[in-house]
Amino acid sequence: MNATIHSLKGKDLLTLIDFSSEEIHDLLTLASELKQKQLAGQAYTPLTGKTLAMIFEKPSTRTRVSFEVGMTQLGGHALYLNSNDLQIGRGETIADTARVLSQYVDAIMIRTFAHSKIEELAQYATVPVINGLTDDDHPCQALADLLTIYETKKQLKGLKLVYVGDGNNVAHGLMIAAAKVGMDCTIACPVGYEPKEQYVEAAIEVAKQTGSQIVVTHSPQEAVKHADVIYTDVWTSMGQEQESQQRLAVFQPFQVNEQLVKQAKPDYMFLHCLPAHRDEEVTAGVIDSDHSYVFEQAGNRLHVQKAILLSLLSC
């Protein structure tokens, strides 16, 4: 059986705000089909001769390995580039870098800081641009999260997803992804660490169309009541190291621990985008419990990246 290719040729993946609910469901279906092919040992190499440029201004484990392995499994080649490998690190403009790379490769994936950088890259590139992570959004992670939830719960619409912690790029991506597929999403965060208003407003607008709810609260105890899925992330992200001690104090009441999860449904799932700091944002007892699907979640990054690549590069 050949995997179904849902062509998104000509699109960039900068944020899931730009994708319809149908396109997101198509990507998840394709990711599932590709996963089954791999588990069955069926080679599938439709991207033979294609090259993906991978720009890393932030280091990565899951993003680099999943994209590189995914491109290889599909028959293509992935080229790892960091700031030291590119003239962008010596003052070449984003626009010129985009124009030059477009002469050589079939797609560009970038993991960087400012979201404006990836927007400029996409503006001037003539090949698809994929957001591997910015300070504002993490759409590839959110797609892998949805796939993991669907595999376990056999549904998405109507579930309650609760994110506890910093209102960061992961929270932004989750809100949008949840709203697009009709999941209720609650973000529980300390005062002053709420998700950006533009993402909250965008998620609420989408939720009106899909019949879901988006809530931002400062009470983790109230948030996790009757939760189907509990999600957290590190309290100090890359670039925030100087705030580490302050954040440890502020976020302590938002730790996902054995007491907190008692408020969730008995069959709740625990998710974390990893890397995790055990006994900071989550206790070892929760992340290593039978409720935890963090490694399945990490594994699904591979299948989602393959679906993204195949969809954006399909003819």
Give the model confidence (pLDDT) of 81-133 as tens digits: 998 888 876 789 999 999 999 999 999 999 999 999 999 999 999 999 999 99
Q: What band does 167 get if pLDDT is binned at 50, 70 and 90?
A: very high
User: Does 237 show up as a binding residue in the annotation?
Assistant: yes
User: Does 278 show up as a binding residue in the annotation?
Assistant: no
For residues 231-251, one letter each, b for 16 or more C-beta atoms within 10 angstroms of the residue's C-beta and e for the rest, the string is: bbbbbbbeeeeeeeeebeebb
Residue at token pair 């590839």:
140
Catalytic residues: 111, 138, 141, 233, 273, 301
Distance in Å from the first CA to the final CA of the chain: 19
Highest-scoring range by mean pLDDT, 58-62, 172-176, 237-241? 172-176
Strand partners, 278: 282
| DSSP string for 215-262 | EEES-HHHHTTT-SEEEE--SS-TT-GGGHHHHHHHHGGG-B-HHHHT
User: Does 139 show up as a binding residue in the annotation?
Assistant: yes
Total-model pTM: 0.96
Output the pLDDT for position 315: 58
pLDDT tens for each residue of 35-46: 999 999 999 999
Per the CB < 8 A criterion, the answer to whether 169 and 231 are in contact is no
Output the pLDDT for position 1: 37
Output the pLDDT for position 241: 80
User: Does 60 show up as a binding residue in the annotation?
Assistant: yes
CA distances from 147 to 130, 245, 302 (A): 19, 34, 11
62 pLDDT more than 70? yes
User: Does 63 show up as a binding residue in the annotation?
Assistant: yes
Strand partners, 256: 282
